[in-house]
Chain A
């Protein structure tokens, strides 16, 4: 991971105390990202609103479909819990990196990042950490307030399950990050990288469980979602968090699928980066 293709650009006398210096680098990158975000607090709040609008709309429509009964094992309170979990997990695993990478490549903003003594991917990772700490704590705070007055969205107090969900969320975040970053790297070859990613997002509306829990989709579609990386990227951690996935074999299998796809996308990312950077001709700034 470390240095990567940026390694040859490192000054000859670069420090070799790699451990400590990576911690420092991440500390600095995180601090910078945090301060930038602080400057755009209101803008972040608006992105957050957009992020929760869609699950809320889906929730209210399912609410009216379910009425007093249940559809596919989901009654009103199950839907509420499901979509609240979607909002939280989505904020924690959000990956907007495609928009940045695409611009870095097309407008030459990649140039100064290449002369830094580390791969630009680390800046993106630090950015993600800073944003997610902020937005997720906001969603958790709102959730706690809502849960105080509305029992339906309360989660059972099961530390083991929360730990299990945390692992699934971390894997989902890594997976979505790699998918988004890799799509961004397509900008080395085409100006329509963001367009390609939007098609991916369109499909993930269904396959990641944003419109409905996968159990309510046609079985064939749900199967495709599980075989590909889509369920791993959102629905699976949501199902773990809401208690739909038993903590035995089904959980282990889900984690294995997540890890497998994360590795696959890690390989795709490395290939795209190494080939792309070789053909990259900087745009003057």
Chain B
């Protein structure tokens, strides 16, 4: 990331990677201070996470009453996947939705102007300004669920598997970010569509199950067109024996490609932006 913003910010000022880290730290400090005013939200968020995790497990249970395997995954393997699903959902709710999810509104109301004149890269500012801190419970409980699933499978992942998992999870987060950025950037063309974020929710529904459980056509779409497969199936597969280090590196490649393409889309969109009156 470092240094990239400097060339792209479109302002003369050179902003180094360290400077960006500093700005990010300041953003998140403010967010945390805001969140700490509403401590009751933490308990609510925690209970919410536990409730929806239970619902997800029961849902899987309904399917596994009738079958031993979904697309070659056993119940506890699917549980590992659901843990990843939950952890990534935490990132979505904690970082993506409160930031880039508001892009449509920024474009509609013209408040994007205020962001464009700031001496930091606009994409950076639109993406990471706020942090809903409590959603860290989703991430931790999700990873905990994955660990419990592994325990029930009697799997102790080797260091290499954990490394592959870490790479795949980072790639998954990057891909989710790219999908959000791509979807939200459509706001520049379709200003009237206020609920673009809902499209992500519709897509993310498919991530609850391993892609191998879907019919071939759909599987192809989920791997190559909308890269949902890389978000939960691939990282979880690193731990459950459905993947390899090579697959993790592929995931990293997909993530880089997705980030690059959406960056280009973002820049094309900005060139098109003429601001809303207001």
Partners in one complex: yes
A residues lining the B interface (CB < 8 Å): 39-40, 42-43, 46-47, 49-50, 53-54, 57, 60-65, 71-72, 192, 195, 198-199, 202, 205-206, 211-212, 216-218
Q: In the complex, A217 Cα to B61 Cα: how many Å?
A: 10
Q: Which residues of A contact B44 (CB under 8 A)?
A: 192, 195
Known A50-B199, A65-B67, A218-B65; further 19 A-B contacts with Cβ < 8 A: A39-B192, A40-B192, A42-B193, A43-B193, A43-B195, A46-B195, A46-B199, A47-B198, A50-B198, A53-B203, A53-B205, A57-B208, A57-B209, A60-B213, A61-B63, A195-B48, A205-B59, A206-B55, A211-B62
A60 CA to B199 CA, complexed, in Å: 19
B residues 192-210 near A (Cβ < 8 Å) are 192-196, 198-199, 201-203, 205-206, 208-209
Is the beta-carbon distance between B66 and A46 smaller than 8 angstroms? no
B15: Cβ under 8 A from any A Cβ: no
Interface residues of B in 178-198 (CB under 8 A from A): 190, 192-196, 198
Secondary structure type dominating chain B contacts? helix
How distant is the Cα of A49 from the Cα of B71 in the complex, in angstroms? 25
Residues of B within 8 A of A39 (CB): 192
Task: Give the docked Cα–Cα distance between A132 and B267 (Å).
Answer: 39
Contact A206 B201 (CB under 8 A): no
Contact with A along B57-82 (1 / 0, CB 8 A): 01100110111001100000000000
Asked whether, in the complex, the Cβ of A57 is within 8 Å of the Cβ of B196, the reply is no
Report B-chain residues with C-beta under 8 Å of the C-beta of A40.
Answer: 192, 194
Which residue of B195, B196, B218 has the most chain A CB atoms within 10 A of its CB atom?
B195
Q: List 22 A-B contacts (CB under 8 A).
A: A40-B192, A42-B192, A42-B193, A43-B193, A46-B196, A47-B195, A50-B202, A57-B206, A57-B209, A60-B213, A60-B215, A61-B63, A61-B70, A61-B213, A63-B215, A64-B71, A65-B70, A71-B66, A72-B66, A195-B44, A195-B48, A216-B66
What are the 10 tightest A-B residue pairs by CB atom distance, in nearest-first order?
A: A53-B202, A71-B66, A50-B202, A42-B193, A65-B67, A202-B55, A53-B205, A50-B198, A57-B205, A43-B195
Q: B residues within 8 Å of A by Cβ?
A: 44, 48, 51-52, 55, 58-59, 62-63, 65-67, 70-71, 190, 192-196, 198-199, 201-203, 205-206, 208-209, 213-215, 218
Chain B residues with CB under 8 A of A42 = 190, 192-193
> Which residues on the A side are within 8 Å of B194 (C-beta)?
40, 43
Given contacts A64-B213, A64-B215, A205-B55, contact A50 B193 (CB under 8 A): no
With a cutoff of 8 Å between Cβ atoms, the chain B residues found around residue A199 in the complex are 51
> What are the residues of chain A within 8 A of B71 when measuring CB–CB?
64
Which residues of the partner chain B approach A217 to less than 8 Å between Cβ atoms?
62
Please give, as numbers and ranges, the residues of chain B lying within 8 Å of A62 by CB-CB distance: 63
Taking a contact as CB atoms under 8 Å apart, the answer to whether A46 and B218 are in contact is no
Contacts of A198 in B (CB 8 A): 48
- Contact between A60 and B193 (Cβ–Cβ < 8 Å)? no
B204–chain A nearest beta-carbon distance, Å: 9
Q: What is the bound-complex CA distance between A50 and B202, given in angstroms?
A: 5
Which A-chain residue is minimally distant from B214 (CB atoms)?
Answer: A60
Quote the shortest CB–CB distance from B168 to chain A (angstroms): 22
**A72 nearest CB across to chain B (Å):** 7
B181, chain A: closest CB distance, angstroms: 18
In the complex, chain B residues whose CB is within 8 Å of the CB of A60: 213-215, 218
A65, B218: Cβ atoms closer than 8 Å: no
- Interfacial chain B residues near A64, Cβ < 8 Å: 70-71, 213-215
| Distance from A37 Cβ to chain B, minimum over Cβ atoms (Å) | 12
With A65-B66, A202-B55, A216-B65: A50-B215 Cβ-Cβ less than 8 Å: no
Q: Which residue of A lies closest to B190 (CB)?
A: A42
Q: How far is the CB of A240 from chain B (nearest CB, A)?
A: 22
Residues of A within 8 A of B51 (CB): 199, 202
| Bound Cα distance A47, B199 (Å) | 8
Q: How far is the CB of B253 from chain A (nearest CB, A)?
A: 27
